Chains A and B, each alone.
Chain A
Amino acid sequence: MKSLFMRGMLFIESKLKMTCRDVYPYMSEMLDHEIPFIPRMRVKMHLALCHVCTFYQQQLAMIKKLSENIGLSQEDSREGPEFSDEKKLKIKEALKKEK
């Protein structure tokens, strides 16, 4: 018969343990903001043991990072229409009215 201590430990483990399905909603959310301490620790425990979920989280993180890079590169885009002199003049005239 299991001791009270063992039963207590098994109870805690069952409460902390998460399946891949349980962890799934947090893996994207953790890229956006810090989630509360207890679920954060539970997710970390799961990821430490589950390489499949670790791959998944790394892939989401890579998509996020690459998207940031694409966004920055679009600020220097060399392709696309020119902003015509006529349109520039229109803005300069509008600026003059603000002075």
Chain B
Amino acid sequence: MSQGVSAEDAEDWVDKYSTQMYRFALTRVKDQDIAEEVVQETFLAAWKSKSSFSGRSSEKSWLFGILKHKILDHFRQLKKRGEIEFGDPGEWETAENLFQSNGLWKTPPSSWGINPEQAAQNLQLLEALNKCVESLSDRFKSLFLLKEMDGLTADEICDQLDIKPANLWVMMHRIRNRLKTCLESNFEFSQGELSK
């Protein structure tokens, strides 16, 4: 495929994938002009590195892989300009509030009564989780989207956003904890439906 990528192929990519990529970028950067710019940069980067496309993944996966890194680069630039800060994990409750002095849970977690396969098929649960992610603060939402939803590695995120790995683990824990609490408030696990 790498030798076979022609100029016409590259233009076909634009016709086939630009709308999906634009919508995806928009959910991440929240600005139409920036999303458009990120999509354009992605196609240009893809064309320049077309020889690296091995054909082992689909061209769509390959393009989205580049797009996700362009989005990461967007957040790196925001950080560089001081428009977003990732370094301080301090926000929300710490573990001290969750446990008694003897080390036991104050409010022990109970079973959700749903297995991972059932959960993956439950559209209302997915909708509730998505809403909970949207309710996160900008910096934590960005971090969660990059790490968890876009599958970028911790090394890439720490390197680009200048975050210490130990801080990333703490922030990821607090984000997941926040999402867990939010889900339990917005989804009836015993009923399998949204509670609000």
Judged by DSSP, the binding face of A is: helix
Report yes or no: B104 in contact with A75, Cβ–Cβ below 8 A. no
Pick from A25, A64, A98: contact of B95, CB under 8 Å: A25
Number of residues on chain A facing chain B (CB within 8 A)? 49
Report yes or no: A20 in contact with B39, Cβ–Cβ below 8 A. no
Q: Which residues of A contact B1 (CB under 8 A)?
A: none
Q: Which residues of A contact B105 (CB under 8 A)?
A: 20, 52
Report yes or no: B120 in contact with A80, Cβ–Cβ below 8 A. no
Interface string of B172-186 (1 = CB under 8 A from A): 110011011001000
Report yes or no: A87 in contact with B149, Cβ–Cβ below 8 A. no
- How long is the Cα–Cα vector from A83 to B26 in the complex, in angstroms? 11
Interface string of A22-47 (1 = CB under 8 A from B): 10110111001100000000000000
Report yes or no: B126 in contact with A91, Cβ–Cβ below 8 A. no
Chain B interface (Cβ within 8 Å of chain A)? 7, 10-11, 14-15, 18-24, 26-27, 32, 36, 39-40, 43-44, 47-48, 60, 64, 95, 98-99, 102-105, 108-112, 114, 116, 119-120, 125-126, 129-130, 133, 144-145, 148-151, 154, 168-170, 172-173, 176-177, 179-180, 183
A-B residue pairs in contact (CB < 8 Å), sample of 7: A20-B103, A22-B103, A29-B169, A65-B116, A70-B133, A75-B60, A91-B44
